[in-house]
Structure formats: C-alpha cells, structure tokens
C-alpha cells in the first residue's frame, strides 16, 4: 500500500463519486477506479458499495477512512516538523478577514509572527462575514476574522476584539452641528441611513431602533467601507458602522459620533474549521495569537 492509495481513497470517500473525485485529484476516472480496486484487493474487503447514482462506504470503508485520515495527518506533521528542524517554520498561511478593525489585528499579529518565523508567507483575502465564513467551511483559508452574528456550526471560535458602533454624518447635516461626541440612536430614526449589506446586520440594527421605539429608514446597503465614506460625503445618508471606520476617516466633511442609548458594540471573532486539521504554520500562528490575547 502506498500513500497515493490512501489519498485516492480519501478523495473518493469525501466525494462518494468517482468522477468528482478524479476531477479533484486531476486524474482520469478509470485509473482512479483501478487504484481503489487494487486497494480493496490488498485489504481483502470492499470499501465502497457501488450504486447507480454514487457510492456508499461500507462498514470497513468507514473504519479505514478513520485510519487513513490519521495516517495522512501524521505524514504531514512529520514532514513539517523535519523541515522546521532544518530551516525553521515555513509555508503559506491563508487568511481571510472582514473590514473594520480586523485588518489591523491581522497586520499586528503578522508583524510579530514574522519576526519569529521570517520564512512564512501570507495570503490575505477580504470580504464580508458571510463570504469569509464560507471560505473557512470550504477549506479555502486556514484562519479568518469575522464579526458577530454568525453561524457557529462546524467552527471553532476565539473572541479577539470589541468596539462601539458609530454614526458617520455629513458635516453639513443638522445632527453634525449638535455638541458632543455621541448621539442617541433615536435621533437617527428620521433620516436616511447607510448600513452594511449583510442580512443579519439589517435585522440587528432594526432591533436597536425597536428598543428606542422607532424604526430605521435604510436608504442604502453597502459591502465596503470606501462606499461608506463616499456616500456619506455626498450627503446620501448617515452611515452606521463599527468604530474602526471612523478612525480611518480623515475627511473633514464627515462628522463621527458614537451611538448611545442603546450603546451597541461590534465583536470580532477569529474562526477556523472544526472538522479540519490545521497545517503546522496555522497551528503555530493560532498559538501565537492566543498567547497575545
């Protein structure tokens, strides 16, 4: 039995379809089928039940799947450890993040981690929380920062930061002329609002206004912080966003006020796939972040 047999078996076991598994492995289907047949012959058991519309693991196949995962994990760990002994920690860390405070958090962590392990490379992807969480579940990235609320199923999570929500108000707006660095939420109710595009955000913000006995007038929903600056500057509406957006704005024609009554916060969460063994470089980075926190 060779390692390729185990890799081929796991691909078929995950897809339960020879055609899809062959495509994922970038090989033709007939050779893949022969490899699985050879493996079954060597083990003396059937690993799959062939059905008209796919495959089903036998009881022996399910047991072998557990061992196969452990074998490949051990091979990966041993290979990484030996390389680390020779040249230090290496590899590429795949990260994904939302806007707001998250890019700064990752940047600070990477800066410190890079001093310890200068040979590690980084690949960063940006999107909204739903898109980022999807990349984690599909194993397209190792670690990611999203904002609550989120679906925690299948994920490990670590809370890493919390900040207040703010109102970004056009400088000529009447509310911008009021004294003080904060504003009651109910005062925003009569005006057009610009909010993040996530469906859960609309529900969350609507609940805030319900608490103050009012309803929001949502004029525009946006996916990126740059849109918040431009739309606010043009007087389209008042933007509701986590505080990091205000800290990054240097525009004199935008007034920033913290939202109070109720005082609402945005929570950032570091997540990773619960059902996947993280690569060594990701495990080391996660341990580093935990020590910082």
| C-alpha to C-alpha distance for 139 and 247, rounded to whole angstroms | 33
Q: Which portions of the chain are predicted below pLDDT 70?
A: 80-81, 83-87, 249, 251
| Tokens read off for 135 | 């990349």
123-151 tens-digit pLDDT: 999 988 989 999 999 889 999 999 998 88
235-281 tens-digit pLDDT: 999 999 999 988 776 767 899 999 999 999 999 999 999 988 898 89
C-beta of residue 254 within 8 angstroms of C-beta of residue 172: no
Rg (CA), the chain: 25
C-beta of residue 254 within 8 angstroms of C-beta of residue 229: yes
Q: Are strands 254-260 and 265-273 parallel, antiparallel or unpaired?
A: unpaired
Q: Which of 256, 262, 241, 134 is nearest to 197 (CA)?
A: 241
pLDDT for res 251: 66
C-beta of residue 109 within 8 angstroms of C-beta of residue 285: yes
DSSP secondary structure code for residue 185 in this structure: G
Query: Cα dist. 149→32, 97, 130, 262, 268 in Å?
Result: 43, 15, 10, 18, 9
pLDDT for res 247: 79
**CA-based diameter of the chain, in Å?**
81
| C-alpha to C-alpha distance for 167 and 242, rounded to whole angstroms | 9
SS3 174: helix
Q: Which residues of 136-148 are buried (b: 16+ CB within 10 A; e: fewer)?
A: bbeeebbbbbbbb
Q: Which of 44, 31, 36 is nearest to 12 (CA)?
A: 36
Q: What is the pTM of this model?
A: 0.69
| C-alpha to C-alpha distance for 90 and 94, rounded to whole angstroms | 13
């Amino acid at each position: 039995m060779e390692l390729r047999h185990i890799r081929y078996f796991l691909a078929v076991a995950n897809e339960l379809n020879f055609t899809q598994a062959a495509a994922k492995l970038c090989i033709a289907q007939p050779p893949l089928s022969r490899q699985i047949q050879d493996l079954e012959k060597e083990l003396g058991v059937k690993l799959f039940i062939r059905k008209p519309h796919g495959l089903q693991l036998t009881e022996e196949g399910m047991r072998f799947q557990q061992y196969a995962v452990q074998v490949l994990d051990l091979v990966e760990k041993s290979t990484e450890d030996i390389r680390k002994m020779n040249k230090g920690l290496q590899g590429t860390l795949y990260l994904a993040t939302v806007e707001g405070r998250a890019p700064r958090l990752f940047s600070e962590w990477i800066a410190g981690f890079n001093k310890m392990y200068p040979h590690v490379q980084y690949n960063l992807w940006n999107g909204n929380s739903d898109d980022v969480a999807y990349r984690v579940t599909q194993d397209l990235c190792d670690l990611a920062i999203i904002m609550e609320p989120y679906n925690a199923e299948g994920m490990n999570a670590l809370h890493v930061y919390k900040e207040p929500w703010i109102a970004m108000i056009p400088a000529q707006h009447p509310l911008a002329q009021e004294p003080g660095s904060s504003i009651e939420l109910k005062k925003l109710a009569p005006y057009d609002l610009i909010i993040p595009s996530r469906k859960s955000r609309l529900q969350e913000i609507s609940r805030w206004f319900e608490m103050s006995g009012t309803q929001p007038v949502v004029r525009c929903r946006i996916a990126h912080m740059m849109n918040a600056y431009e739309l606010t500057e043009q007087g389209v509406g008042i933007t509701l966003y986590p505080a990091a957006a205000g800290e990054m704005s240097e525009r004199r024609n935008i007034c920033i006020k913290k939202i109070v009554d109720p005082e609402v916060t945005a929570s950032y969460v570091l997540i990773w796939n619960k059902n996947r063994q993280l690569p060594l470089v990701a495990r080391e980075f996660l341990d580093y972040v935990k020590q910082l926190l």
